[in-house]
Amino acid sequence: MSLIVVGSMAFDAIETPFGKSDKIIGGAATYIAWSASNFTKPIKQLSVVGGDFPQSELDALKLRGVEMEGVQIKKDEKSFFWSGRYHMDMNTRDTLETQLNVLANFSPVVPESYQDCEFLMLGNLAPAVQLSVIDQLKSRPKLIVMDTMNFWMEIALDDLKKVLARIDVLMVNDSEARELSNEYSLVKAAKKIMAMGPQYLIIKKGEHGALLFNEDQVFFAPALPLEDVFDPTGAGDTFAGGFIGHIAKTKDISFENMKTAIIIGSAMASFCVEKFGTERLKEITKEEIDVRLQQFQDLVNFDIELG
């Protein structure tokens, strides 16, 4: 019983108003696995890399309980590469370069050993690829969570809608929720998007926190106010990893437990942005996570007498 994580494992080059990285390790599935592995194992990784992807990076994840049977290594090709520049607000960015490389023809193959998985995390990828993973699973996972982005809404909306009809939890940011629903109010957007399939919707608002919707219920998780945001790359994937990691650990898919999972996702994301790439995620300890969760509790807890 375990968790499948689908997504890219790749290289990024990042510029922010405060610094510039070399070509460093990135990719949605990389961040998700680093984050989720604090809470659950085994994690069964489904991805594709080129011959240029360092074996040491795969080995480091293996030591965290991440299985690599589903990671295709295309020796003669290059890994996916993205480079971007963040604006001063650190919420918006320009893409400088995208090289699809191995992702151009990625056709994931779910190994037999992955078939026992209870939880499926579909990281941001072409919707058709996400769908092919769902189709390959012989029994439906207990919970399917999907991340996506505006790019797919613009070039693959029909495919995206097919995936939406098959999943339980969708994660998007606020501008994506508005684009997908054609509604400005996030409450109205949530209703329209849930009508497309997912019973749960998580709207990520970066430094402004995240909202969880289910039917008429709504929960809000703040982002931790930070002195410095060093690099927001991967924060959304790290959030997803903390969320699904907690759900897979507890095997409880109630709305109440999803609230906790979102707080844990927010705490993990708050570490991610403190250094470039996955650097901070690789070094955090259980104790640091607990301290940060306590900070989230202090941040929003209040007493009030009603009546």
With a CB cutoff of 8 Å and minimum separation 6, the contacts of 237 are 7, 28, 29, 30, 31, 32, 35, 123, 124, 147
CA–centroid distance for 289 within its chain: 18
Min separation Cβ 307 and its own copies, Å: 6
| Of residues 218-277, those binding its own copies (CB under 8 A) | 218-222, 225-229, 256, 259-260, 263-264
Binding residues for its own copies restricted to 178-207, rule: CB under 8 A: 184-188, 205
Q: Is 302 left (phi over 0), alpha (psi -120 to 50) or beta?
A: beta
Q: Over the range 17-41, which residues count as b (16 or more CB within 10 Å of their CB) and which as e?
A: eeeebeebbbbbbbbbbbbbbbbbb
**CB 132: neighbour CB atoms within 10 A?**
17
The site string for its own copies over 79-118 (x = CB under 8 A, - otherwise) reads: ---------xx-----------------------------
Q: How many residues bind its own copies (CB under 8 A)?
A: 41
> Considering the rule CB under 8 A, would residue 300 count as an interface residue with its own copies?
yes
89: Cβ contacts below 8 Å, ≥ 6 apart: none
Nearer to its own copies, 87 or 140 (CB): 87
Minimum Å gap between C-beta 119 and its own copies is 20
Q: Provide the minimum distance between the beta carbon of 258 and its own copies in the complex, in angstroms, as a whole number.
A: 10
Q: Which residues bind its own copies (CB under 8 A)?
A: 88-89, 184-188, 205, 208-209, 211, 217-222, 225-229, 256, 259-260, 263-264, 290, 293-294, 296-304, 306-307
